Amino acid sequence: MTPLRVVFIASEAAPFAKTGGLADVAGSLPNALRRLNVDIRVVLPGYRQVFEHSLRQEPVWTNLNTWLGSQRLTFQVRKLPIENVAPIYVIDREDMFDRPHLYGNDDGDYYDNAERFIFFCRAVVSLMHAWDFTPHVVHCNDWHTGLIPVYMQLEPAFRQFKTLFTLHNIGYSGLFPSDKFALTGLDLSHYQPNGLEFYGQWSMLKAGLVYSRAVSTVSPTYAREIQTPEYGKGLDGVLRNRRASVFGLLNGVNYQMWNPETDTFIPARYTPDDLSGKRICKAALIQACQLDGSLMERPVIGIVSRLDVQKGIDLIIPILSELIESLKVGLVILGTGDGMMQQRLQRASESYRGKFAFIQRFDDEFARRILAGADMLLIPSRYEPCGLTQLYAMKYGTIPVVRATGGLNDTVSEVNEHTGEGTGFTFKHVDSTDCLTAIQKAVGVYRMPLTWRRIQTNGMSMDFSWEKAAQNYLSLYRELMRDSTI
Ligand code: ADP
């Protein structure tokens, strides 16, 4: 069979530029597909972080250009000098992407994100004109790439390309005021409810959802949830209209990067057969967070999360005294985001010194130290498209306690303390008491060391590798190729 040719476009990819799970996916899925013989090329914005991470390579194209409104903007395309991975091309234009952050700073989103990502989408189209690479599938990810399927439909040369739009989080819709619409170069027939218009504004996410041949999201449960008013953020109707071409494919884990047997960032390595290293990691975490030594014999709960309403971290504030004083658990939270939430966590951690540590930063190494050193990882999300930290936690023998939504529902199975089956503890409602009940059950099982050990082993032996997940994407690409209706 001729190899499938795919262009994979995303706004971030680990390890070059990362704010969340999208980067983990874009950094791993293309390589897993390449191992399945897919001829795949990745396109990213040329952020400062990308170039800092990878020495600048001679540009492949020095003088491409595209329109932004009535302005013609030039840009370069550089290829990153990395061997044996899916080739990565970056769209390089300093005034757009050479900034300290990807999308904004403490004051909020950059004021010109519409300009930046309209430009990015249009630059990708120009690149595809210049390329001697004709893809079968153009795979776009999240709102930053949402205009690409529109341009693919409008350009006669590209109309035969099958576009797949993967939705990693419907909460980020790339919503902009009407006066920015002219920058897209699209005529006004696209500015209507069947097109990009969204309640008086217009949405780049909606563009991707409406104009792509197929839509996928990152777990089967989330694919169903986003078709309901409760989870659809106003786009559920659009998705219901397209239900025959909406797919839910679970994300994977790059076990070369997330594995306690090989992770050099954690204080000691360990395997499912010998967890003594995990105890060393717990002791080191307790010390690093200046928690009470007595917590060595009590459960320590970790959280590694963006501090966004989505993540439900606020649910734990009303139950802190139950957790710390009655259940006598330790708590370590690593996260950044919402300013109010940061303040509340800071204050609470000060009043429970020695029991509760709040680390307010983005720190990949410390995230790993929590994944390895904690006994449980708490993820009380209001919604969770897939969630990666619960998958990492299982691999690190850290038992997830999660709200059963989206990918959390698809990947964590409820513990049966009588049989020792299951991989974690779940609760159903967005409710502090429900969350507390799940943690109480977990603490009860923690007191049964043999059962706890068995559940750790269950989680550590789960296989959420990208190899499996990439097979599902490959099948979807092939289905797209075969089926003229999607
Ligand atoms: P989301 O993409 O919604 O943020 P995911 O669970 O899919 O959630 O992915 C989050 C990723 O970001 C994980 O790799 C997690 O370890 C990482 N992460 C989140 N917050 C932090 C932080 N403060 N420091 C380091 N890594 C973090």
Q: pTM for the full model? A: 0.95
Write down the pLDDT at residue 485: 57
Plot region of 41 (φ>0 → left; ψ -120 to 50 → alpha; else → beta):
beta
Number of the ligand 1 atom closest to the C-alpha atom of 168:
2
Q: What's the whole-number average pLDDT of the chain?
A: 96
Question: d(Cα 179, Cα 152) in Å, to the nearest integer?
Answer: 23
Beta bridge partners of 91: 45, 77
Give the DSSP letter of residue 270: -
Ligand 1 neighbour 334 (Cβ under 6 A): yes
Number of the ligand 1 atom closest to the C-alpha atom of 169:
3
Give the DSSP letter of residue 472: H
The fourth-level CATH superfamily of domain 5-252+467-482 is Glycogen Phosphorylase B; (3.40.50.2000)
Tell me the pLDDT tens digit for each residue of 132-167: 999 999 999 999 999 999 999 999 999 999 999 999
- Note whether 39 and 33 are within 8 A (CB): no
- Judge whether residue 276 has pLDDT over 60: yes
In this structure, which residue's CA is closest to atom 2 in ligand 1? 21
Number of the ligand 1 atom closest to the C-alpha atom of 371:
16
Whole-angstrom distance between the N-terminal and C-terminal Cα of the chain?
A: 22
- Note whether 262 and 326 are within 8 A (CB): no
Write down the pLDDT at residue 355: 98
Question: d(Cα 221, Cα 239) in Å, to the nearest integer?
Answer: 14
Write down the pLDDT at residue 270: 98
- Judge whether residue 92 has pLDDT over 90: yes
Which is it for the CA torsion 209, 210, 216, 221, positive or negative?
A: positive
416: CA distance to ligand 1 center in Å?
A: 28
- Judge whether residue 52 has pLDDT over 60: yes
Ligand 1 neighbour 360 (Cβ under 6 A): no
Tell me the pLDDT tens digit for each residue of 322-369: 999 999 999 999 999 999 999 999 999 999 999 999 999 999 999 999
- Judge whether residue 451 has pLDDT over 80: yes
Considering the four listed CATH numbers 3.40.50.2000, 3.10.290.10, 3.40.50.1470, 3.90.79.10, the one that applies to the domain covering 276-462 is 3.40.50.2000
Mean pLDDT of the region 281-304? 98
- Judge whether residue 486 has pLDDT over 80: no
Mean pLDDT of the region 454-482? 96
What are the backbone angles phi and psi of residue 86, rounded to the nearest 5°? -60, 130
Write a three-state SS string for 8-69: EECCCECCCECCCHHHHHHHHHHHHHHHCCCEEEEEEECCHHHHHHCCCCCEEEEEEEEEEC
158: CA distance to ligand 1 center in Å?
A: 35
- Judge whether residue 484 has pLDDT over 70: no
- Judge whether residue 483 has pLDDT over 80: no
2 — pLDDT class (breaks 50, 70, 90)? confident
Pairing mode of beta strands 71-79, 356-359: unpaired
Ligand 1 neighbour 384 (Cβ under 6 A): no
What stretch(es) of the chain map to CATH 3.40.50.2000?
A: 5-252+467-482, 276-462
Mean pLDDT of the region 107-120? 96
Residue among 172, 250, 362 whose CB has most ligand 1 atoms within 8 A, to mutate: 362
Mean pLDDT of the region 51-64? 87
Mean pLDDT of the region 458-470? 96
Residue among 18, 19, 22, 24 whose CB has most ligand 1 atoms within 8 A, to mutate: 24
Ligand 1 neighbour 379 (Cβ under 6 A): no
Virtual CA dihedral for 209, 25, 464, 458, nearest 10 degrees?
-110
Mean pLDDT of the region 173-179? 98
Write down the pLDDT at residue 155: 95
Tell me the pLDDT tens digit for each residue of 197-232: 999 999 999 999 999 999 999 999 999 999 999 999
